[in-house]
Amino acid sequence: MNKKLLCVVKPRKDENIFSYINRLSIENMYETNTWILNDSDFNHYIGPRNLLPWKFDFSSLMNLTGLSLNELLITTFYNEFDYEKGKFKHFNFTLYQDSLMNAHAKVCPRCLETVGIHHKLWDIRIFLVCPIHNCFLVSSCSSCGKPIKQYRKKFYYCKCNKDLRTLKVKNADESNSFVSRIIYYKFNSDTRNFKESNLNLLTKLDLKYILLIYHFFIRLYYRDKSRVGSISIESIKYFV
Ligand SMILES: [Zn+2]
Ligand SMILES: [Zn+2]
């Protein structure tokens, strides 16, 4: 017999799937997220860039929640990247494999504290600053020094038990936050308050093309020697 969750909340467009599973766990009064993560076939290696309908089988989570694939896919970049399977293979690769985080996460401790969700945009590698709090996202735990994982037993805690909402943040200035702000306003389809909007052609492009352009130039810069790391703040500086 198929297991079904008693309480099902609707996924939000601005949260990632691990954040959604956390809300489901809270709603169903599970002590940790492990039950739903495991029952939905998530393992420690799954990250946002693996979450394509032809790479990851969503059927267990669909059964658990009774939701359709399309309803669940709003917690991934499937709609924003908008392409069909098999087309533009090189672009697909860049958008998913190069642009998105793997099993590691970066978080804004202040958003975790105030909003309680993992914003989907944090999973974009070049998104390094929280535009709401103007601080750099944090990618490792200050207590144990290890990278923050997407797969966490307790959503708000590192494996070492450090509360991620209490991690110290470093303030960013306007030039550090340019890329993140452009992505944030594009995602929310609202560039009215983006004061550079008339000056920068990037604001006229869809989110996926902004990412492709950045990755094209980053690759040129590195001459394809290495992939862009999630925490290479130094390297991003050259492109803003
Ligand atoms: Zn924030
Ligand atoms: Zn830790």
pLDDT tens-digit series, residues 94-114: 788 889 999 999 999 999 999
Q: Cα of 64 to ligand 1 centre, how many Å?
A: 31
pLDDT recorded at residue 87: 62
Q: Cα of 119 to ligand 1 centre, how many Å?
A: 9
pLDDT(184) > 70: yes
Span 19-39, mean pLDDT? 97
What whole-number distance in Å separates Cα of residue 127 and Cα of residue 106?
A: 9
pLDDT(192) > 90: no
pLDDT(93) > 70: yes
Average pLDDT, the chain: 87
Domain boundaries, the chain: 109-239
pLDDT recorded at residue 224: 53
Q: Cα of 114 to ligand 1 centre, how many Å?
A: 8
Q: Give the CA distances from residue 170 to residues 19, 22, 130, 195, 231, in Å, rounded to whole numbers and listed in that order.
A: 23, 26, 11, 23, 13
Q: Cα of 5 to ligand 1 centre, how many Å?
A: 31
User: What residues form DSSP beta bridges with 163?
Assistant: 157
Span 61-87, mean pLDDT? 88
Whose atoms come closest to the Cα of 171: which ligand?
1
Q: Cα of 130 to ligand 1 centre, how many Å?
A: 5
pLDDT(198) > 60: no
Q: Cα of 167 to ligand 2 centre, how many Å?
A: 10
pLDDT(40) > 50: yes
Span 225-236, mean pLDDT? 51
pTM of the model: 0.87
What token pair was written down for 231?
A: 């925490």
Q: Cα of 149 to ligand 2 centre, how many Å?
A: 10
pLDDT recorded at residue 191: 61
Q: Cα of 51 to ligand 2 centre, how many Å?
A: 25
What token pair was written down for 68?
A: 């359709």
Q: Cα of 160 to ligand 2 centre, how many Å?
A: 4
pLDDT(69) > 90: yes
Binned at pLDDT 50, 70 and 90, residue 189 comes out as confident
Q: Name which residue leads in pLDDT, 140 or 53.
A: 140
3-state secondary structure the chain: CCCCCCCCCCCCCCECHHHHHHHHHHHCCCCCCHHHHHHCCCCCCCCHHHCCCCCCCCHHHHHHHCCCHHHHHCCCCHHHHCCCCCCCHHHHHHHHHHCECCCECCECHHHHHHCCCCEHHHHECCCCEECCCCEECECECCCCCCECECCCCCCCECCCCCEHHHCCCCECCHHHHHHHHHHHHHHCCCCCCCCCCCCCHHHHCCHHHHHHHHHHHHHHHHCCCCCCCCCCHHHHHHHC
Span 40-45, mean pLDDT? 94
Q: Cα of 165 to ligand 2 centre, how many Å?
A: 12
Span 123-147, mean pLDDT? 96
Binned at pLDDT 50, 70 and 90, residue 240 comes out as very low
Q: Cα of 2 to ligand 1 centre, how many Å?
A: 38
Q: Cα of 167 to ligand 1 centre, how many Å?
A: 12
Span 23-44, mean pLDDT? 96
Q: Which of 44-53, 132-141, 210-219 has the lowest mean pLDDT?
A: 210-219
pLDDT recorded at residue 230: 47
